[in-house]
Amino acid sequence: PPQVADELVKVQVALSNIAGKRERIKILFKKIEDVIKYLDPQYIDRMAVPDTMKLQFILAEEQGIPSRVALLEQVKNLQPVLDSACIQAVPDHAAKLQRLSQIQIQQQEQCKQFSNDVKMLLEDYNKT
Protein backbone atom coordinates (compact mmCIF):
# COMPACT_ATOMS: atom_id res chain seq x y z
CA PRO A 1 0.00 0.00 0.00
CA PRO A 2 2.73 2.60 0.72
CA GLN A 3 4.34 1.75 -2.60
CA VAL A 4 1.01 2.24 -4.38
CA ALA A 5 0.58 5.63 -2.72
CA ASP A 6 4.09 6.65 -3.78
CA GLU A 7 3.37 5.61 -7.36
CA LEU A 8 0.10 7.58 -7.34
CA VAL A 9 1.95 10.67 -6.13
CA LYS A 10 4.48 10.24 -8.95
CA VAL A 11 1.66 9.93 -11.50
CA GLN A 12 -0.03 13.04 -10.06
CA VAL A 13 3.21 15.01 -10.27
CA ALA A 14 3.79 13.84 -13.84
CA LEU A 15 0.26 14.83 -14.85
CA SER A 16 0.66 18.23 -13.22
CA ASN A 17 3.95 18.79 -15.06
CA ILE A 18 2.36 17.83 -18.36
CA ALA A 19 -0.65 20.02 -17.65
CA GLY A 20 1.55 22.94 -16.71
CA LYS A 21 3.45 22.75 -19.98
CA ARG A 22 0.46 22.52 -22.22
CA GLU A 23 -2.10 25.29 -22.05
CA ARG A 24 -4.91 23.25 -23.60
CA ILE A 25 -4.52 20.46 -21.07
CA LYS A 26 -4.48 23.03 -18.28
CA ILE A 27 -7.79 24.42 -19.54
CA LEU A 28 -9.23 20.89 -19.76
CA PHE A 29 -8.31 20.16 -16.15
CA LYS A 30 -10.14 23.31 -15.11
CA LYS A 31 -13.18 22.24 -17.13
CA ILE A 32 -13.34 18.77 -15.55
CA GLU A 33 -15.22 20.14 -12.55
CA ASP A 34 -17.79 21.70 -14.88
CA VAL A 35 -18.17 18.43 -16.77
CA ILE A 36 -18.67 16.50 -13.54
CA LYS A 37 -21.27 19.06 -12.46
CA TYR A 38 -23.11 18.75 -15.78
CA LEU A 39 -23.07 14.95 -15.60
CA ASP A 40 -24.82 14.98 -12.23
CA PRO A 41 -28.38 13.66 -12.80
CA GLN A 42 -29.82 16.27 -10.45
CA TYR A 43 -28.13 19.16 -12.27
CA ILE A 44 -31.04 19.65 -14.68
CA ASP A 45 -33.53 19.59 -11.81
CA ARG A 46 -31.58 22.26 -9.96
CA MET A 47 -31.20 24.40 -13.06
CA ALA A 48 -34.73 23.94 -14.38
CA VAL A 49 -36.60 24.66 -11.15
CA PRO A 50 -35.00 26.77 -8.43
CA ASP A 51 -35.68 25.86 -4.82
CA THR A 52 -37.90 28.92 -4.33
CA MET A 53 -40.13 27.76 -7.18
CA LYS A 54 -40.30 24.27 -5.69
CA LEU A 55 -41.31 25.78 -2.36
CA GLN A 56 -44.02 27.89 -4.01
CA PHE A 57 -45.32 24.82 -5.84
CA ILE A 58 -45.53 22.84 -2.61
CA LEU A 59 -47.29 25.69 -0.83
CA ALA A 60 -49.75 26.06 -3.70
CA GLU A 61 -50.58 22.36 -3.48
CA GLU A 62 -50.91 22.46 0.31
CA GLN A 63 -54.71 22.55 0.25
CA GLY A 64 -54.94 19.44 -1.95
CA ILE A 65 -52.59 17.34 0.15
CA PRO A 66 -55.18 16.31 2.82
CA SER A 67 -57.60 15.08 0.16
CA ARG A 68 -54.81 13.08 -1.48
CA VAL A 69 -53.89 11.63 1.90
CA ALA A 70 -57.52 10.62 2.44
CA LEU A 71 -57.61 8.94 -0.97
CA LEU A 72 -54.38 7.07 -0.25
CA GLU A 73 -55.79 5.91 3.09
CA GLN A 74 -58.91 4.71 1.30
CA VAL A 75 -56.76 2.75 -1.16
CA LYS A 76 -54.80 1.31 1.76
CA ASN A 77 -58.05 0.26 3.48
CA LEU A 78 -59.32 -1.37 0.29
CA GLN A 79 -56.04 -3.19 -0.38
CA PRO A 80 -57.31 -6.45 1.22
CA VAL A 81 -60.08 -6.54 -1.39
CA LEU A 82 -57.51 -6.34 -4.17
CA ASP A 83 -55.44 -9.04 -2.51
CA SER A 84 -58.43 -11.37 -2.10
CA ALA A 85 -58.46 -14.79 -3.75
CA CYS A 86 -61.40 -13.80 -5.98
CA ILE A 87 -59.50 -10.91 -7.55
CA GLN A 88 -56.30 -12.94 -7.80
CA ALA A 89 -58.20 -15.64 -9.72
CA VAL A 90 -59.39 -13.24 -12.45
CA PRO A 91 -56.60 -14.10 -14.92
CA ASP A 92 -57.50 -17.77 -14.61
CA HIS A 93 -61.02 -17.02 -15.83
CA ALA A 94 -59.94 -14.99 -18.87
CA ALA A 95 -60.23 -17.93 -21.29
CA LYS A 96 -63.71 -18.78 -20.03
CA LEU A 97 -64.78 -15.14 -20.33
CA GLN A 98 -63.45 -15.00 -23.89
CA ARG A 99 -65.45 -18.10 -24.84
CA LEU A 100 -68.61 -16.68 -23.23
CA SER A 101 -68.09 -13.38 -25.07
CA GLN A 102 -67.92 -15.23 -28.38
CA ILE A 103 -71.11 -17.12 -27.54
CA GLN A 104 -72.87 -13.85 -26.69
CA ILE A 105 -71.79 -12.31 -30.00
CA GLN A 106 -73.13 -15.34 -31.86
CA GLN A 107 -76.40 -15.13 -29.95
CA GLN A 108 -76.72 -11.42 -30.76
CA GLU A 109 -76.23 -12.20 -34.45
CA GLN A 110 -78.82 -14.99 -34.26
CA CYS A 111 -81.25 -12.67 -32.47
CA LYS A 112 -80.76 -10.01 -35.14
CA GLN A 113 -81.35 -12.57 -37.88
CA PHE A 114 -84.44 -13.86 -36.06
CA SER A 115 -85.78 -10.29 -35.72
CA ASN A 116 -85.24 -9.68 -39.43
CA ASP A 117 -87.02 -12.94 -40.29
CA VAL A 118 -89.99 -12.06 -38.06
CA LYS A 119 -90.13 -8.58 -39.58
CA MET A 120 -90.20 -10.04 -43.10
CA LEU A 121 -92.94 -12.50 -42.12
CA LEU A 122 -95.03 -9.70 -40.59
CA GLU A 123 -94.57 -7.54 -43.69
CA ASP A 124 -95.63 -10.44 -45.91
CA TYR A 125 -98.63 -11.11 -43.67
CA ASN A 126 -99.68 -7.44 -43.76
CA LYS A 127 -99.46 -7.38 -47.58
CA THR A 128 -101.96 -10.18 -47.93
pLDDT in the model for residue 1: 62
Q: Give pLDDT tens digits along the chain (128 positions).
A: 678 878 888 888 887 777 666 677 667 777 887 888 888 877 777 677 777 888 888 888 888 889 999 999 999 999 998 888 888 888 888 889 999 999 999 999 999 999 999 999 999 999 87
What pTM, to 2 d.p., does this model score?
A: 0.35
pLDDT in the model for residue 75: 92
Write down the domain spans for the chain.
1-48, 94-128
pLDDT in the model for residue 34: 81
CA nearest to 98, candidates 110, 90, 108: 90
pLDDT in the model for residue 19: 65
Residue partners of 49: CB distance under 8 A and separation at least 6: 57
Residue 40 backbone phi and psi in degrees, to 5: -65, 125
According to DSSP, residue 61 is labeled T
